[in-house]
A and B are shown apart, each in its own frame.
Chain A
């Protein structure tokens, strides 16, 4: 059967709410509005005011409240309508959630999930389009997850909710409506995807493409085009930003000898930058036949006009171009 990413997220939350009474969801419009992007559709009707809580538009306040609730024994899911708004609350995510287990030397854990759409959408302009993977991925004490498919969304969200640590769960608005095949195994109530393990979405011998979230789709599309020219790309879906599954990437490079990373976010100090640094420092460096490169969003605030926006984020042709340059073909 096919399931959209949105429905996969919805079902994952529904099942986890049912499984553990301590789980609850709070955020703007999550209850009576069914969620700004309808991800929490039906949950308030089923679980009521106690478990699905509409908050006022006060991110710093409600994120802090969510963290406090987690400290005192509950398991909150704190939704940011988009991660752009998480900047209002970022102190609570980093200083109150991420660092507390360490500062307390293990006395105080914080089992919380911060979730919401991240990165570029369509036509929402500069203040609503930033990718926060690199910002949150920088911080020890956080787990940072970035699902691509419906299966990813389901298995990773369940894992995140069951994880006893703060997890930043980066969704993507443009992926919400995308349907994916979902096997019966994936539909089972205890299907979990481990946090920290990447997945090879497509096997290939000539070059490794590493990506996360929506860009995985573009990598697969680019790979399909390149296959017609006899270039076989191995496409790795990171699934988790932090902890980074460097081993999966290294193993692939030792086979293909070439690396291109693809991300929607800005280049400087970003996901690709980190992957390249890891590869430089690790065993896979000696297997590279060409410098590893990054395909990223353009280093500008996101413009509004469609033609400008389209040219601000990686397109399939950019990936194909970078692959060919790296392979020197």
Chain B
């Protein structure tokens, strides 16, 4: 059975037709048909499942007090991160806010180093010094804790892309809560004036912490809030919608037309962070309904199964592999030692001779190297 599928796999492609996106100041939107190859489908499935399980494991570790501080989980929104990455290249740039574990993964981080960062160990992607909100990889600028601050940063990255002439762009993400920040409108203005290759993406998961979009925004048409910037509103639970919209947006930027804005309608199963049960401002019924009707992983799975692109066993096998990967990573993350104390004062300055840093009292002089 499997061999048969393998033979067919190169030929068989699933095609999906999707709903039209809502458009703002755009003549036409992304194509209504998308092609999905078996390889792509399996890869998206695996990545989304990895993200899902990684976040759930983080939930577990947090409740065991092995992860501390802030922990903002992404489960439910997987189609956004995976779909966006599928629409751009690794040589493009991306920046987001604090709900960033999934993006750290799509941008080249490993589950091991992400989890070890959450548990604050030396094997963490930021050597344990950043934590949940401050993870970085090549062309991924975090992980940013201050709501909205990442948006001007992203436009700055886009400015560098344009300046250096490398035909790269920057994907700049923010949430429905951040969408009301003044600095975002300042950024829209400059990005538009200077035609920066910037894809602004609003991940609208309906709640800014505990405040629903209706209570926070006079206009909840986030895709229109860029005013003079063309925008589109996309189903963020459907990975093909996200991918096609991202490709469309990327094409817009790369052709020199300037910035574009995408609103992804999505949903987070967890509360805002681990300290928020997530049910005081929304009903369990609502969460359950999204899970049963719009779960991004289930939707992809159903699509692949109904198009005979994969078998149930195959997908189960991926699940098992993913589970193992997460277990191994969690094992590493809980056993890797914490950073050494003599790393405390390092990484203050780059390319700097070693210097002294005052400790907690005048007699304690600590060493700092770049």
* Chain A residues close to B by CB (< 8 Å): 24, 50, 53, 55-56, 58, 60-74, 91-92, 95-96, 100-109, 111, 140-141, 143, 164-165, 243, 281-282
CB atoms of B155 and A64 under 8 A apart: yes
The answer to whether the Cβ of B247 comes within 8 Å of any Cβ in the partner chain is no
- When A72-B161, A104-B126, A108-B136 are in contact, do A58 and B349 touch as well, CB less than 8 Å? no
Q: How far is the CA of A243 from the CA of B183 in the complex (A)?
A: 31
Residue of B95, B129, B149, B161 touching A92 (CB-CB under 8 A): B149
Which residues from A are CB-within-8-Å of B340?
none
Smallest Cβ-Cβ distance to B144: which chain A residue = A96
- When A60-B183, A60-B186, A61-B190 are in contact, do A95 and B160 touch as well, CB less than 8 Å? no
The answer to whether the Cβ of B142 comes within 8 Å of any Cβ in the partner chain is yes
Q: How distant is A196 from chain B, measured CB to nearest CB, in Å?
A: 8
Which residues from B are CB-within-8-Å of A69?
156-157, 159-160, 163
CB<8 Å pairs between A and B, sample of 21: A56-B190, A58-B190, A62-B152, A64-B152, A65-B152, A67-B152, A68-B95, A68-B153, A71-B153, A73-B164, A91-B146, A103-B126, A104-B129, A104-B136, A105-B128, A107-B137, A108-B136, A140-B357, A165-B350, A165-B351, A282-B362
Q: How distant is B121 from chain A, measured CB to nearest CB, in Å?
A: 12
CB atoms of B347 and A101 under 8 A apart: yes
Which residues from A are CB-within-8-Å of B170?
68, 72
Residue of B156, B187, B350 touching A101 (CB-CB under 8 A): B350
- When A103-B126, A104-B136 are in contact, do A65 and B155 touch as well, CB less than 8 Å? yes
Residue of B130, B163, B190, B357 touching A74 (CB-CB under 8 A): B163
Which residues from A are CB-within-8-Å of B160?
68-69, 71-74
Which residues from B are CB-within-8-Å of A96?
144, 146, 149, 153
- When A56-B193, A61-B183 are in contact, do A67 and B153 touch as well, CB less than 8 Å? yes
Q: How distant is A21 from chain B, measured CB to nearest CB, in Å?
A: 9
CB atoms of A62 and B159 under 8 A apart: no
A-B complex: 5 closest residue pairs judged by Cβ atoms: A68-B156, A64-B152, A61-B186, A72-B160, A281-B362
The answer to whether the Cβ of B182 comes within 8 Å of any Cβ in the partner chain is yes
CB atoms of B156 and A24 under 8 A apart: no
Q: How far is the CA of A69 from the CA of B156 in the complex (A)?
A: 4
Which residues from B are CB-within-8-Å of A63?
152
Smallest Cβ-Cβ distance to B145: which chain A residue = A95
Smallest Cβ-Cβ distance to A102: which chain B residue = B347
Smallest Cβ-Cβ distance to A69: which chain B residue = B156
The answer to whether the Cβ of B37 comes within 8 Å of any Cβ in the partner chain is no
- When A56-B193, A61-B186, A92-B149 are in contact, do A103 and B351 touch as well, CB less than 8 Å? no
The answer to whether the Cβ of B93 comes within 8 Å of any Cβ in the partner chain is yes
Complex interface residues of chain B between 328 and 345 (CB less than 8 A to chain A): none
The answer to whether the Cβ of B141 comes within 8 Å of any Cβ in the partner chain is yes
Q: How distant is B132 from chain A, measured CB to nearest CB, in Å?
A: 11
CB atoms of A92 and B152 under 8 A apart: yes
Which residues from B are CB-within-8-Å of A62?
152, 186, 190
Give how many B residues have a beta carbon under 8 Å from the other chain's beta carbons. 49
Q: How far is the CA of A101 from the CA of B126 in the complex (A)?
A: 10
CB atoms of B355 and A243 under 8 A apart: yes
CB atoms of A68 and B152 under 8 A apart: yes
Residue of B126, B137, B183, B355 touching A64 (CB-CB under 8 A): B183
Which residues from B are CB-within-8-Å of A141?
348-349
Smallest Cβ-Cβ distance to A94: which chain B residue = B146
Complex interface residues of chain B between 191 and 229 (CB less than 8 A to chain A): 193-194
Which residues from B are CB-within-8-Å of A109?
350-351
Which residues from B are CB-within-8-Å of A104?
126, 129-130, 134, 136, 142, 347
Q: How distant is B282 from chain A, measured CB to nearest CB, in Å?
A: 30
Q: How far is the CA of A72 from the CA of B154 in the complex (A)?
A: 9
- When A71-B157, A72-B161 are in contact, do A65 and B146 touch as well, CB less than 8 Å? no
CB atoms of A58 and B186 under 8 A apart: yes
CB atoms of A102 and B348 under 8 A apart: yes
The answer to whether the Cβ of B110 comes within 8 Å of any Cβ in the partner chain is no
Which residues from A are CB-within-8-Å of B127?
105-106
Which residues from B are CB-within-8-Å of A64?
149, 151-153, 155-156, 183, 187
Which residues from B are CB-within-8-Å of A70?
156
Q: How far is the CA of A55 from the CA of B154 in the complex (A)?
A: 17
Smallest Cβ-Cβ distance to A58: which chain B residue = B186
Q: How far is the CA of A95 from the CA of B152 in the complex (A)?
A: 13
Smallest Cβ-Cβ distance to B351: which chain A residue = A164
Residue of A56, A91, A102 touching B149 (CB-CB under 8 A): A91
Q: How far is the CA of A100 from the CA of B149 in the complex (A)?
A: 13
CB atoms of A68 and B163 under 8 A apart: no
Smallest Cβ-Cβ distance to B151: which chain A residue = A64
Q: How distant is A91 from chain B, measured CB to nearest CB, in Å?
A: 6
Q: How far is the CA of A329 from the CA of B67 in the complex (A)?
A: 63
Smallest Cβ-Cβ distance to A105: which chain B residue = B127
CB atoms of B156 and A65 under 8 A apart: yes
Chain A proximity mask over B107-150: 1 for CB below 8 Å, otherwise 0: 00000000000000000001111100010110001101110010
Smallest Cβ-Cβ distance to B186: which chain A residue = A61
Smallest Cβ-Cβ distance to A65: which chain B residue = B156
Q: How distant is A128 from chain B, measured CB to nearest CB, in Å?
A: 21
Which residues from B are CB-within-8-Å of A92?
149, 152-153
Q: How far is the CA of A50 from the CA of B127 in the complex (A)?
A: 37
Q: How far is the CA of A140 from the CA of B193 in the complex (A)?
A: 35
CB atoms of B149 and A95 under 8 A apart: yes
The answer to whether the Cβ of B292 comes within 8 Å of any Cβ in the partner chain is no
CB atoms of B153 and A56 under 8 A apart: no
Chain A proximity mask over B175-192: 1 for CB below 8 Å, otherwise 0: 000000011001101100
CB atoms of A106 and B93 under 8 A apart: no
CB atoms of A105 and B130 under 8 A apart: yes
Residue of A24, A58, A68 touching B154 (CB-CB under 8 A): A68
Q: How far is the CA of A56 from the CA of B186 in the complex (A)?
A: 8
Which residues from B are CB-within-8-Å of A111?
350
Which residues from B are CB-within-8-Å of A91?
146, 149
Which residues from B are CB-within-8-Å of A71?
141, 153, 156-157, 160
Which residues from A are CB-within-8-Å of B158?
68
Which residues from B are CB-within-8-Å of A165?
349-352
Q: How distant is B156 from chain A, measured CB to nearest CB, in Å?
A: 2
The answer to whether the Cβ of B311 comes within 8 Å of any Cβ in the partner chain is no
Q: How distant is B199 from chain A, measured CB to nearest CB, in Å?
A: 14
CB atoms of B348 and A61 under 8 A apart: no
Residue of A24, A60, A281 touching B163 (CB-CB under 8 A): A24
